[in-house]
Amino acid sequence: MSSQLSWSIIKQFSSRNMFGFTFQDVAREFPQKNRVHLARILSDMVDKGMLCKITRDNYHIIPYNADPETYVPDGYQVAKYIMQNKEYYIGYASAMKIHGLTLQSEVKVYVVTKKQMKPAIRSFGGITYQFIQHDATRFFGFSSIWINQLEKAMVSDLERTIVDIATKPQLCGGIVEVGNAIFQAKARTDHDKLFYYFARNMNKSAKKRFLFLTDLLGLEWTTEHERMMEELGPGISLLDPAAPDQGRKRRKFGLKINVDPIRIKKKVLHRKMF
């Protein structure tokens, strides 16, 4: 009987492409079953290698052809399961990877949340998950995107990703990676949306970095860029917050250039993405 219920659980969720689910999901699908009994069944399914337990109440179906001893769902799936029923999007370096804007290996998954997550850093299957809270005014610009052949997750769109990494370059590998993303995405970027996002983001440092990199890399300069230049204000920001606080000031862009521009340009323009 328990074996039959186990396969019923697998069939119920996999038939709807729900490869990750919670104990509460199972209880709702099988209301006639005792909850203590269901908990035992799920525990038994983990022991038998049918399920992978991600958190206390989150489970993932292990593919029948996978080795249960070594199988781990990909990081984006895990992030999605952890955030079940919560507002979130996969962002920063992780979104860059999904959009094909970086070759960096994925050792950390960045998840943007509307409400603070505790702890803010977690680990599972050799991958670290960092949860970054955005207040309501900055929680926008994402949609459901395919993260593999079977599942979708909430991911920042291309333009939101650029705005995020220009705001916090330290969450994508530094200013060189920001420049590379802007350059690689130039033909795919909806610039009307991008400028709208920068306006909603209300971060002058992000605007300064974007404008500086656009100029440095010789990308198209429009009246919208000129308009944004007029909004920068008198303050000075670091070009790369992750680099030492040193270098000369470029008052035109309101930046302290603490990373060699020649190095940025060389690394971006001569990078082979594929």
Tell me, yes or no, whether 152 and 227 share the same domain. Answer: yes
> 174, 243, 248: which is closest to 213 by C-alpha?
174
Residue 179 lies in a domain: yes
Range of the domain at 95: 79-269
Q: How many domains does the chain have?
A: 2
What is the mean predicted confidence (pLDDT) over 247-264? 97
Instruction: Tally Cβ neighbours within 10 Å of residue 188.
Output: 11
Quick one: tokens of 56? 């206390």
pLDDT on residue 105: 74
Same-domain pairing of 171 and 263: yes
Q: How many CB atoms lie within 10 A of CB 199?
A: 13
- Per-residue model confidence as pLDDT tens digits over 46-92: 999 999 999 888 999 999 899 999 998 999 999 999 998 899 999 99
pLDDT of amino acid 174:
96
Tell whether the model's pLDDT for residue 274 goes beyond 90: no
Q: Indicate whether 83 belongs to any domain.
A: yes
* 72 falls within a domain: no
Helices 175-184, 261-269: inter-axial angle, 10-degree rounding = 40
Provide the terminal-to-terminal Cα distance of the chain, rounded to the nearest Å.
52
Let me know whether 36 and 118 are in one domain: no
| Token digits of residue 156 | 């920042």
pTM for this structure?
Answer: 0.90
* Strand 237-238 to 255-257 pairing: parallel
Give yes or no: residues 121 and 229 share one domain: yes
Specify whether 50 is located in the same domain as 92: no
Pairing of strands 152-156, 58-61: unpaired
Both 46 and 152 in one domain: the answer is no
